[in-house]
Structure 1
């Protein structure tokens, strides 16, 4: 099977300048991996990686001679970042593994494109494109790409032992690009060697899981991971597959469902302490942890209010939700509560509540402490107590009380 790509990114001045600088003195340059794969699949290309048989020192020298910036970001592994026309390209010299350690490898540089391809993970990632768009396929990636079949190059056990993160990449690539069942050989190897995941850093695991949970086939892939015994190793919990599956069924209603933090909150299927376990285990950022907990808090509040049984055309519940939690956490809370409710994606009450949470503006409490002191209330804790009382009455009124009425409530105490 042969292929050729003819995409605009191939003719970008920055990439052409990089080719011009490095491809000389008998050395070759080709685009490799995701840019080629995604172009052939009709998917967006976010970054462009380059492979070459030029040694790293020559890459640096030639780039700088051409007026390009060269940064030795991964020199020991043969990777030089070349900045051309404002775009950064990772340029990596062809490699052969000398020794593998389960998390990294000792490599030597080479000139053999076949051997470079054979050390990569999946056949669909070992596709190279010359500057004229001709695709080179040393390991049979094109048929797998056409079939949307994620398959390890060569022996799956060997590829995984080279880097145990490839277990998670196997499932993640299937969730993102796969069609049909998982590759049987890859699944068997991943199941057998899953214990190697324990030697990976939490940061590397977290990066893969963030991408996996928002992939198109995440729900069914996570079910496969759970059956294989992989999910508890990466989440420190078995995971709530039913709520997660329900959340992803709402993808067409709100973009929030495709945020990793909300997806992980649904997958945790537990209390706030379990959210902390997942966040710690994946080394999530403080912002991601806060979003998970805010979504959980809003969903619990909604559950207590029996949100699914509220009249769908009454906006008071949504207004109070927005007032208490804000837009992002409010919408997240609706989606999470809906996912945990057991009700389907066509439930009219939740649909109406979500539309209100997305479309209404959060009510703004019209009083401040200065209003009270100007009205004669002594400054101090009493101001806060009276403001809280007025706000409670305001919420109970469905936000109907105006500033004058609220000031009367606060002054009366």
Structure 2
């Protein structure tokens, strides 16, 4: 495995040869449903191939199984990997969010126990953050962990956890102190998904996918070393995790490997769609395609600028909310344009139709999710205004009030 910092050009050439000789074409798993067990098994296998070949965890520390290289090396590999099958479903949340958070706040023992396993495809990590009654107020959560001698007992419920059914561990934010304001009494835990007392239910969406899950915790016993970061300092830990989440969804994360569309924005080629439906010569359609293309160019330039600025320190890590917000808005525009061009066949796909528009219709049904994934776009605007632009914080009636005194609806 690479231990010395080789030049980006040498690394890219080595990656080009290795990919050609070792990775199957991208069409190899095209028939697998993204939320199927087969897709996750395949992703684990591909991740192991990357690890054995010396191309897993390019920006992860070398002492924990990564390569310890730069975002430029990762970008070079991603460009070379276009056209090859890669374990893209492991990017979010396992690699770019959960494993990245482990790098930041995990103990040496936690990093050595989990990061090599993640990079080998042996462990899948997910997030246990949102709650059924929580909305966007993450700090107002009520899932609780209580100290019981040399262990913690976890009780409560989480929801909208992507891929939890296929995971091994979840990063779970729970309340450990009710006598202090809500942000000060939280702790982040590393929870074994298959531990006694953990129940996972899959949620069927309007698209038919069952990617999202709800979890129930009933006296789940956790060892003291399951704490990530410090006890009652879970908000600081969660803030790091959320920075990684925004970076992943906004396209600025150095831990994502392989070419993947930004929030679904390029799932369908508008040019191919226009030609297949006989509208390529329509000036209105061509203007729509031009607008969509311009937005993608702006997105790519924005991602590059924000990434450089965060790395140089010119912008704080929370600036990832800028690209997260823009990518969400752009994803909706791209999806709307696709439906506008496809017309009624976006909803009436049938065998023998001139173009496969099923993806167009499903993307449109799912479009609202892009304004929620990684925190709502409204929350992203708050983060930008308060943490990037330095504007005054939004008023909150429960600020500095002990959580056990905060009035909550039933």
Q: Same fold (TM over 0.5)?
A: no
Bigger proportion of residues as helix = 1
Identify which of structures 1 and 2 has the higher relative contact order when contacts are C-alpha pairs closer than 8 Å and 6+ apart. 2
| TM-score for the superposition, normalised by structure 2 | 0.24
- When normalised by structure 1's length, the TM-score is 0.24
User: Greater CA radius of gyration, 1 or 2?
Assistant: 1
